[in-house]
Structure 1
Amino acid sequence: MPRRIVVTQYVSLDGVIEDPVGMENSGLGDWTGPFERGPEGDRFKHEEMLAADAVLLGRVTYDAFAAVWPSVKDETGFADRLNSMPKFVASNTLRQAEWHNTTILSGDAANEIRALKAKPGGDILVYGSAALVHALMPHGLIDAYNLMVYPTVLGRGKRLFADGYASKLTLAESRPLGSGIVLLRYGTGT
């Protein structure tokens, strides 16, 4: 069975995925910080990570994650799992990846990722990485979306679905989490 590409995002009510924790100097600030997703939300993020055996990132998200995650220590083991699992970064400009167990995918991202999907294994999670997600969508390479929708409207910022992109998704799960956050899981049917 081929692997699945699962895009996992924090999303505002108006569809913005840019800079949810305020690390990208976007001016949006830490828009997820005022909300507590609760134990059920934390449990979901851990289960999602355990179902995966690789992470796929775009260059901007890779740089932000690589600057923080290698030094994170947590009692739940989330950071250890993320730091030890294979990571792939789609970039034509990155020459060397310092974060342990990272492979640079250069050239045609769609072809590289199609080949990665064809290999046996678990889910491949995509965190953030708006430009990469937008590049994968028209090629039908995304199999599922795990969205934590936050009860905030930002009015600007990079959105999950770019203007002009259309697709029909199938709802797999919907459940409320803490602070008005809603978990929505969709399949793409690809």
Structure 2
Amino acid sequence: MRRLIVSELLTLDGVMEDSTPWHRDYRSPESGQFKSGELFGSDTLLLGRVTYGGFADYWPTVTDTGAFGERMNSLPKYVVSGTLKEAHWNNSHIIRENIAGEVARLKAQEGQDILVYGSGELSRFLLAQGLVDQLNLLIYPVVLGQGKRLFGEGAGPNLTLTDSRTFSSGVVLLQYHPAR
């Protein structure tokens, strides 16, 4: 059975919205190495409609991203959307109905990890359904004060910390497994 990993970039106050490039000033070789390992340890991307749209507009157009960009463009991609008519990015498929069942079916297949980038609404749904095996939270030393948060109002899942690392840029990686 494959693992489903949710990977999020968060500010110190929990904002995940990417309306400004707040995270770009904190890139480091260590975080780049981590993100590369995360991607190459996966063989499927699962994305919400908004994240998919941003990625589909960006990744096919850039030429200087080397193996990382080639991997992003070649992997099978599943976008969860009830409104998207077509998925034009290479090797993309739309999940419109029975989301939990379809994700469980993907997890039951042989292969590497399934990786969710961003996709806040989808990530919250997957957590609530008990489908997430690991959360990779990269916490940036930035406070925005407002914006969409991974964990909104109300109780979130109970989590067990499994690893933590601090990168030279001040970014902290927190890896959790949902408490079962």
Structure 2 counterpart SS, 1:6 = strand
- The 5-angstrom pairing of residues 116-135 of structure 1 reads 116-135=106-125
Tell me what 1:68 maps to: 58
Runs of 4+ in 1 over 6 A off after TM superposition: none
Tell me what 1:8 maps to: 7
- The 5-angstrom pairing of residues 7-156 of structure 1 reads 7-19=6-18, 22=19, 29-36=20-27, 38-74=28-64, 76-156=66-146
- State whether residues 80 and 99 of structure 2, in contact with CA within 8 Å, keep that contact through their aligned partners in structure 1: yes
In 2, distance between residues paired with 1:178 and 1:160?
24
In 2, distance between residues paired with 1:135 and 1:90?
11
More off after superposition, 57-66 vs 167-176? 167-176
- State whether residues 91 and 106 of structure 1, in contact with CA within 8 Å, keep that contact through their aligned partners in structure 2: yes
- State whether residues 44 and 113 of structure 2, in contact with CA within 8 Å, keep that contact through their aligned partners in structure 1: yes
Tell me what 1:25 maps to: none
Displacement of 1:179 in angstroms is 2.1
Query: What amino acid maps onto 1:104 in structure 2?
Result: I
In 2, distance between residues paired with 1:162 and 1:52?
27
Q: C-alpha root-mean-square deviation of aligned residues, in Å?
A: 1.4
In 1, distance between residues paired with 2:155 and 2:111?
29
Identity across aligned pairs (percent)?
A: 47
The unaligned stretches of length 5 or more in structure 1 are 23-28
In 2, distance between residues paired with 1:163 and 1:140?
19
Query: What amino acid maps onto 1:179 in structure 2?
Result: S
In 1, distance between residues paired with 2:32 and 2:140?
15
Tell me what 2:149 maps to: 159
Query: What amino acid maps onto 1:144 in structure 2?
Result: Q
- State whether residues 6 and 123 of structure 1, in contact with CA within 8 Å, keep that contact through their aligned partners in structure 2: yes
Displacement of 1:34 in angstroms is 2.5
Displacement of 1:183 in angstroms is 1.1
Query: What amino acid maps onto 2:17 in structure 1?
Result: E
Displacement of 1:113 in angstroms is 1.1
The unaligned stretches of length 5 or more in structure 2 are none
Displacement of 1:35 in angstroms is 2.0
Structure 1 counterpart SS, 2:132 = coil
- State whether residues 89 and 104 of structure 1, in contact with CA within 8 Å, keep that contact through their aligned partners in structure 2: yes
- State whether residues 57 and 132 of structure 1, in contact with CA within 8 Å, keep that contact through their aligned partners in structure 2: yes
Tell me what 1:168 maps to: 158
TM-score, normalising length: structure 2: 0.94
In 2, distance between residues paired with 1:81 and 1:181?
24
Structure 2 counterpart SS, 1:67 = helix
